[in-house]
Amino acid sequence: MGSYNTTLVLFKEKQDPKTFLSDFHKKIKDINVVLEKSDYQRIVFNDKRNEEEHEPIELYKLMTDEDIIDLLCSWGGLGLLSYRQNDIELALSINYVSWDDKFIEGIEVTFNRSYQNYINKNKIKDDVIIKIANCIDYKLVVGSIGDSEDEFRTDLDLEYNLEYIKNKKFDIDLRK
């Protein structure tokens, strides 16, 4: 299984999922973060706030980014996609988060806490995580990249998470 480092990027304002994701994917391609498409990848959907679940959907090599974005946006709870980036060993995942099942309100960027990623944690912080965050008009960016043990759970209430984050210090800690 393994352990992971997660960074939360909370948006200043709620966004329309389709509009945001189309624009965001163009921006992250410029920093060499690309969707991982293979017959073994899938969209893992978040449960809706009423606890309704959606089965994962397998992705195929021939799917376009727009096909995948459409599938992700078809579910109000949104979900998680895998990406590749040259500075990160193994896949990087981005979980697209909605606390109201209508708008996208933030993302969680997660990568494996492997030895190689720990050695490269400052490069990952500066050249991947911060650059991804800078593609978004964010309210805050907080997370662990190897030293802090603080974790939060975006599946919980947004107000709970904000209260938890308020007095904590993280490896990545940008607040506007």
Mean pLDDT over 26-37 rounds to: 95
Rounded CA-CA distance 32/128 in Å is 9
- pLDDT class of 152 with cuts at 50, 70, 90: low
Number of domains forming the structure of the chain: 1
Whether 130 shows a pLDDT value over 90: the answer reads: yes
CB atoms within 10 A of CB 125: 18
* 65-122 residue pLDDT tens: 999 999 999 999 999 999 999 999 999 999 999 999 999 999 999 999 889 998 998 9
Highest-confidence range of 6-10, 70-74, 149-153, 172-176, by mean pLDDT? 70-74
Rounded CA-CA distance 159/144 in Å is 20
- pLDDT class of 17 with cuts at 50, 70, 90: very high
pTM value surpassing 0.85: yes
Task: For residue 64, give its domain range.
Answer: 4-175
Whether 31 shows a pLDDT value over 90: the answer reads: yes
* Phi (first) and psi of residue 129, to 5 degrees: -60, -50
